[in-house]
């Protein structure tokens, strides 16, 4: 019995795809940005990933329907002057155990590699623990040229004062071993609520990097919806994950 299953909904081919990951994490900054982007640009879901490494539970939605722990792959064919298709990973969960994290990140890379992915952006939040006037976006990358590109877009470079825990870190790191390049973008956030402003800041930088346009007018509205949908169950989920990583919110700077 395989611990992880990917269910293909549509057979697709992609042209020079850029991989974007945004699984649940601090302030749901990455998830909110990517979910909005998928809606706004009308990306198409083409695969679902189920795994024994997710927390052993289901969510219940507002209609009383059970919802599996799942990761979802979307694609977006290149638009306007941009030459790259996009392959976007979102979901309601990350792997729970440390070894599950590695296993799942490897299987995700195996999957996206088939579509010719050579570049990626992983999205997350950087928790400050205190209110922020105007959220900045921080970045870390697999090579120095990308660092330069981030700098040109006024993205703050993270220096050696912390690691990146979870999928956003591992996908970059394991990708690097496979000669994939990429960066992790982190929206600065207090970390204790669904943060639309951090997601907006993040989305603006991502749009510049991808050379596309994303209208962020409805992001605030979306954040409100997300606040409602992200039930106590998902908060519980976050707590479970934090414990699994052996960290508490107190000593945790970043989960992406």
Q: Which of residues 45-84 bind its own copies (CB under 8 A)?
A: 50-69
Task: Indicate whether 129 belongs to the interface with its own copies (CB under 8 A).
Answer: no
Task: Indicate whether 99 belongs to the interface with its own copies (CB under 8 A).
Answer: yes
The H-or-E segment that residue 149 falls in is helix 144-152
Task: Indicate whether 149 belongs to the interface with its own copies (CB under 8 A).
Answer: no
Task: Indicate whether 101 belongs to the interface with its own copies (CB under 8 A).
Answer: yes
CA–CA separation, 119 and 176 (whole Å): 10
The H-or-E segment that residue 37 falls in is helix 29-40
Rg (CA), the chain: 17
Task: Indicate whether 174 belongs to the interface with its own copies (CB under 8 A).
Answer: yes
Out of 130, 133, 160, 250, name the contact with its own copies by CB under 8 A: 160
Residue 237's Cβ-side half-sphere holds a number of Cα atoms within 13 Å equal to: 25
> Residue 18 has which token pair?
């850029």
Whether residue 96 contacts residue 53, with contact meaning beta carbons closer than 8 Å, is answered with yes
Residue 141: which residues within 8 A CB-CB, separation 6 or more? Answer: 147, 150, 172, 181, 182, 183, 184
When the beta carbons of 35 and 197 are compared against its own copies, the nearer one is 35
Residues 186-215 that bind its own copies (CB under 8 A): none
Task: Indicate whether 131 belongs to the interface with its own copies (CB under 8 A).
Answer: no
Cβ at position 27, least distance to its own copies in Å:
18
Out of 96, 137, 180, 219, name the contact with its own copies by CB under 8 A: 96
Residue 65: which residues within 8 A CB-CB, separation 6 or more? Answer: none
Out of 143, 154, 213, 221, name the contact with its own copies by CB under 8 A: 143
Stretch of 11-19, 38-46, 127-135, 138-146 lying at the interface with its own copies (CB under 8 A): 138-146
Cβ at position 123, least distance to its own copies in Å:
15
Task: Indicate whether 140 belongs to the interface with its own copies (CB under 8 A).
Answer: yes
Task: Indicate whether 154 belongs to the interface with its own copies (CB under 8 A).
Answer: no
Out of 26, 89, 184, 202, name the contact with its own copies by CB under 8 A: 184
Cβ at position 235, least distance to its own copies in Å:
9
* Strand partners for 113: none
* Strand partners for 204: none
Task: Indicate whether 34 belongs to the interface with its own copies (CB under 8 A).
Answer: no
Residue 217: which residues within 8 A CB-CB, separation 6 or more? Answer: none
């Amino acid at each position: 019995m395989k611990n992880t299953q990917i269910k293909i909904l549509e057979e697709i081919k992609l042209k020079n795809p850029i991989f974007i990951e945004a699984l649940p994490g601090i302030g749901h900054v990455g998830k909110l940005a990517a979910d909005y982007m998928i809606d706004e640009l009308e990306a198409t879901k083409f695969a679902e990933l189920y795994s024994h490494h997710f927390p052993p539970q289901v969510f219940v939605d507002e209609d009383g329907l059970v919802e599996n722990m799942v990761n979802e792959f979307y694609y977006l064919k290149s638009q306007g002057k941009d030459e790259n298709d996009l392959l976007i990973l979102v979901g309601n969960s990350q792997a729970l155990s440390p070894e599950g994290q590695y296993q799942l990140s490897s299987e995700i890379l195996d999957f996206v590699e088939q579509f010719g992915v050579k570049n990626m952006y992983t999205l997350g939040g950087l928790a400050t623990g205190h209110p922020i006037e105007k959220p900045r976006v921080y970045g870390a990358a697999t090579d120095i040229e990308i660092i330069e590109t981030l700098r040109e877009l006024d993205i703050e470079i993270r220096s050696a004062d912390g690691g990146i825990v979870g999928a956003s870190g591992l996908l970059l790191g394991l990708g690097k071993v496979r000669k994939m390049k990429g960066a992790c973008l982190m929206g600065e956030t207090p970390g204790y609520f669904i943060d639309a402003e951090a997601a907006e800041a993040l989305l603006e930088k991502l749009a510049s990097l991808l050379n596309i346009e994303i209208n962020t007018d409805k992001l605030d509205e979306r954040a409100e919806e997300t606040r409602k949908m992200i039930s106590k169950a998902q908060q519980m989920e976050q707590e479970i994950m934090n414990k699994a990583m052996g960290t508490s919110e107190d000593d945790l700077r970043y989960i992406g």
